[in-house]
Amino acid sequence: MNVLVVNAGSSSLKLSVLGEDDAVLAQRHVERWDGTADLDLVLPPVHAVGHRVVHGGTRFTAPVVITPDVRREIAALTDLAPLHQPRALAGIDAAQALFPDVPHVACFDTAFHRTLPAAAATYALPSTWRDRWDLRRYGFHGLSHAYASRRAVELAGGGSRVVTCHLGAGCSLAAVHDGRSVDTTMGFTPLAGLPMATRSGDLDPGLLLHLLNHLTADELADGLTHHSGLVGLSGHADLRDVHTAAARGANAHLALDVFTHRLRQGIAAMTASLGGLDLLVFTGGIGEHDQRLRAAAVANLEFLGVGVDPTLNRGNLPVDSRISPAGASVGVWVIRAREDVEIAEGTRTACSITIPKHG
């Protein structure tokens, strides 16, 4: 059973066809996608299509076959993920135009975090507000956290307490206990948590109220979403450019310091939610490729048993590698992001198709 996986980003479109045992049969990455179905695709036979959708709200806690009603409900969540939800809808529309005769399935980044305990998911807000507007911590990057945590446990031969670090243009951490998410850094929207490429991460709500005395709500939203994070601190959204600039300018150096400081805080907080740590996992574009960031992230976390071997923690790592010293109490792993595997499995589940084991 071949599954076409559609991952529509804020500007790009990633397509992959996964066959039996999740072998990649074809791939296509459109860097600048205009949302149309004119993709000039040459693909092997496709029997189902799986779509990454960032926000599922309280309604969608598992993969679901897309019907007109489901599409409308996904669209109604756009205010909660304005960068991502419209692009997912565009991907759904384009793929349905190209493959109208196969089932299409939505797989939600929020679904993995449906297991958050009330203590982690609940905001200290009036209950009337929480009930009326479904105000809670949803969490995001769930497809990535689910795969990375499971894959690390498989490779390590066990480990019930896992902290996963999805680090890319968007960044979040998750505390995973026996395969279930019990805490995460993102919240009601993907704007919360760690500083990111252009997003602010967590801020004092009083600071936001103060800014509303000087900015409109739209100006504030635009600034927090597009002009904050690394780009706000250094002028560079790409961490590779921040590294290059750090030696020449204090602002870029500060950006690295702020990013790693908050990352260390987050790892320690997720470990506290787990009551200890067996495995620490880095994934995503930064997590997989930036050995300097990985080394900086674990600095001063020796008290948790975390460390990396400088020889193992290098560039051009083999896929799915351990980088902690031999005999370390906590295994530190770099796991290739494979949201496509998670989406393909979810698609087969929703279509009641037997799921082959992945490697």
Q: What is the distance, to the nearest Å, from the Cα of residue 64 to the centroid of all Cα atoms in its chain?
A: 20
CA–CA separation, 69 and 56 (whole Å): 14
Structure tokens at 65: 């076959």
Q: Is 309 a catalytic residue?
A: no
Residues 6+ apart with CB under 8 A from 249: 234
Q: In sequence order, which ranges of 157-290 are alpha helices (DSSP H)?
A: 205-211, 217-226, 229-234, 239-246, 250-274, 284-289
Q: What is the distance, to the nearest Å, from the Cα of residue 244 to the centroid of all Cα atoms in its chain?
A: 25
CA–CA separation, 77 and 109 (whole Å): 13
CA–CA separation, 223 and 218 (whole Å): 9
Q: Which of 21, 38, 109, 309 is catalytic?
A: 109
Contact 151, 335 (CB under 8 A): yes
Structure tokens at 192: 């919360």
CA distances from 342 to 9, 14, 34, 150 (A): 17, 15, 26, 10
Helix axes 250-274, 291-298, angle to 10 degrees: 60
Contact 287, 192 (CB under 8 A): no
CA distances from 334 to 108, 148, 179, 242, 283 (A): 24, 9, 18, 22, 6
Residues 6+ apart with CB under 8 A from 266: 165, 173, 185, 193, 194
Structure tokens at 72: 């409308």
> Which residues participate in catalysis according to the annotation?
109
